[in-house]
């Protein structure tokens, strides 16, 4: 305050003081009102999806058949004979000396995998394992949607099972969750929540039929899965996803935020860099505490620029192909079981740990069994879904990254499991830019991209922790 004020008459001092206070209040109200308006505007933003018809031709004149049909995984002798014939006729390629997995799947080790597949792998036994849970199909928007529906055998008295939809990604399948399902539906701890689990195959993956028209993206899949859950009688439910499942379940939360009670993901790459994210990239290494960065964050987001560029080039070639011309390379993979196995299993090596590129066997059996890995490959082979699964990149990435859902925040309670060997590290600050109601953020002790399959116990524990937190908050 200026000293000249003291020379004014008292009444003028009072008037001046009151006017100053009034101005400050008006400014504060204006700023507060703007902030409130922006918050309400962001909260009112809801993703919209139009009903589509993804089957062949035009929609039927009458109502679509909405019956739910039991489904059983089966394979004929003729299909297996054709598979073995194709394996026997493969043409081996010698690996470069001392190349490990740096040129892709090591050909020498591939011969061992193929030999096991041809001579020791028991697909019939794995089919029985697949069928241990009840499978179903139902038609939605022209697509036969395949899903597992696993109900708990026992629910504690006075409680109800919590519905949970879990969505896979590429090059995975519903089989990724087979180690996780019993931990959720039959928990050993009496204090744990009991879940009723639905695991669908994304249309074009596994045993869900493929879209026959262009434009089927993650939002379309999210819309179909909402219709699936309603058809099963669920008015509210929780959702979990990784890889493409992260985006599909995120879109589900954006489409119907009051229907999705909680969203749990283990993959959340930043979509739209806001000011906090930009500042954290510029200053985070020098002032980590200012942005809440941990040692895990520093190691995950501040490698030297050269390393960052090189890694990006090394590990994203598949994405560029699938986002532009998926049908070309897909046709070759659809004809060659050995090519298909090499293409898929190389991801289970590198995406589990990039250090596995330095190993002759790609570290494949350090985290997974060959039986489980080949079961996932066989799901792609017997269903012939590799081409439509790759088209999902064309529809989501190839059409630009400026889709409406990238601009809309998620206001559903969210839990994030941060696995150390994930392809992209996302600090808590960045996660909160998209998921405003972040309830839990869990740095995990170990695990990579296929976390549900690699570390089902850790994943189950984090889903329990998150869901308990949300349920407690709702009760309060």
Q: Which of 247, 183, 187 is nearest to 220 (CA)?
A: 247
Secondary structure (DSSP) of 281-302: HHHTTTSGGGGT--HHHHHHH-
CA atoms within 13 A on the CB side of 232: 27
Can you read off the two tokens belonging to residue 392?
A: 């999902």
Active site residue 264: no
36 catalytic? Reply is: no
According to DSSP, the residues that pair with 150 across neighbouring strands are: 197
Residue 452 and residue 95: Cα distance in Å, rounded? 32
Cβ neighbour number for residue 211 with a 10 Å cutoff? 25
- For residue 462, report the phi and psi dihedrals to the nearest 5 degrees: -75, -35
Structure token digits, residue 473: 């908050």
How many CB atoms neighbour CB 222 within 10 A?
A: 26
**CA–CA dist 266, 253 (Å, integer):** 15
For the chain, the residue count is 476
Residue 388 · residue 348 · CB < 8 Å: no
Look at residue 459 and give its three-state secondary structure.
Answer: helix
Burial 282-317 (b: 16+ CB within 10 A, else e): eebeeebeebebeeebeebbeeeeeeeeeeeeeeee
Strand (E) or helix (H) holding 11? helix 10-44
Catalytic annotation present for 320: no
Which among 336, 325, 331, 340 is positioned nearest to 379, based on CA atoms?
Answer: 340
Q: Which helix (H) or strand (E) holds 403?
A: none
Q: Annotated catalytic residue: which of 393, 425, 435, 462? A: 393
Catalytic: which of 109, 141, 146, 243? 243
User: Distance of CA 466 to CAs 202, 246, 457, 472, Å?
Assistant: 25, 16, 14, 10
Tell how many helices (H) and how many strands (E) occur in the chain. Answer: 19, 9
- CA–chain centroid gap for 56, Å, is 28
Torsion of CA 276, 281, 286, 287, to 10 degrees: 20
Which pair of structure tokens corresponds to residue 193?
């929540």
Catalytically active residues are 243, 393, 449
């Amino acid at each position: 305050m200026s000293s000249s004020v003291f020379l004014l008459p008292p009444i003028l001092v009072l008037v001046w003081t009151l006017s100053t206070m009034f101005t400050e209040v008006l400014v504060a109200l204006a700023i507060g009102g703007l902030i409130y308006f922006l918050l309400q505007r962001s909260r009112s933003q809801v993703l919209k999806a139009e009903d589509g018809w993804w089957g062949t031709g035009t929609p039927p004149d009458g109502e679509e058949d909405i019956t739910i049909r039991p489904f059983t995984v089966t394979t004929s002798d003729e299909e297996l004979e054709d598979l073995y014939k194709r394996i026997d006729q493969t043409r081996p390629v010698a690996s470069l000396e001392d190349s490990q997995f740096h040129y892709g799947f090591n050909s020498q080790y591939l011969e061992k995998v193929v030999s096991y597949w041809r001579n020791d792998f028991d697909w019939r036994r794995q089919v029985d394992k697949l069928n241990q849970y009840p499978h179903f199909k139902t038609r939605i928007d022209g697509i036969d949607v395949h899903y597992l529906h696993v109900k708990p055998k026992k629910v504690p008295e006075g409680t109800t099972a919590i519905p949970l939809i879990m969505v896979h990604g590429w090059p995975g399948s519903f089989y990724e969750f087979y180690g996780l399902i019993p931990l959720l539906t039959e928990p050993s701890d009496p204090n744990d929540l009991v879940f009723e689990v639905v695991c669908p195959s994304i249309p074009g993956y596994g045993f869900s039929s493929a879209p026959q028209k262009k434009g089927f993206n993650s939002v379309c899949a999210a819309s179909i899965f909402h219709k699936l859950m309603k058809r099963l009688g669920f008015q509210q439910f929780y959702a979990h996803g990784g890889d493409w499942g992260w985006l599909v379940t995120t879109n589900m939360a954006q489409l119907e935020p009051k229907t999705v009670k909680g969203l749990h993901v283990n993959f959340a790459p930043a979509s739209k860099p806001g000011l906090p994210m930009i500042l954290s990239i510029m200053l985070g290494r020098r002032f980590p505490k200012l942005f809440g960065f941990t040692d895990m964050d520093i190691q995950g987001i501040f490698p030297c620029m050269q390393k960052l560029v090189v890694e990006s080039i090394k590990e994203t070639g598949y994405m560029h192909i699938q986002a532009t011309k998926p049908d070309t390379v897909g046709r070759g993979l659809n004809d060659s079981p050995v090519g298909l196995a090499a293409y898929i299993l190389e991801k289970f090596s590198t995406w589990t740990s990039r250090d596995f590129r330095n190993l002759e066997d790609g570290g494949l059996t350090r985290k997974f069994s060959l039986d489980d890995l080949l079961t996932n490959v066989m799901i792609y082979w017997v269903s012939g879904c590799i081409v439509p699964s790759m088209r999902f990149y064309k529809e989501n990435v190839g059409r630009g990254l400026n889709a409406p859902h990238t601009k809309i925040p998620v206001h559903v309670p969210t839990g994030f499991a941060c696995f150390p060997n994930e392809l992209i590290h996302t600090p808590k600050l960045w996660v909160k830019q998209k998921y405003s109601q972040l309830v839990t953020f869990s740095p995990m002790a170990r695990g990579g991209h296929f976390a549900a399959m690699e570390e089902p116990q850790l994943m189950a524990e984090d889903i329990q922790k998150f869901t308990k937190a949300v349920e407690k908050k709702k009760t309060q």
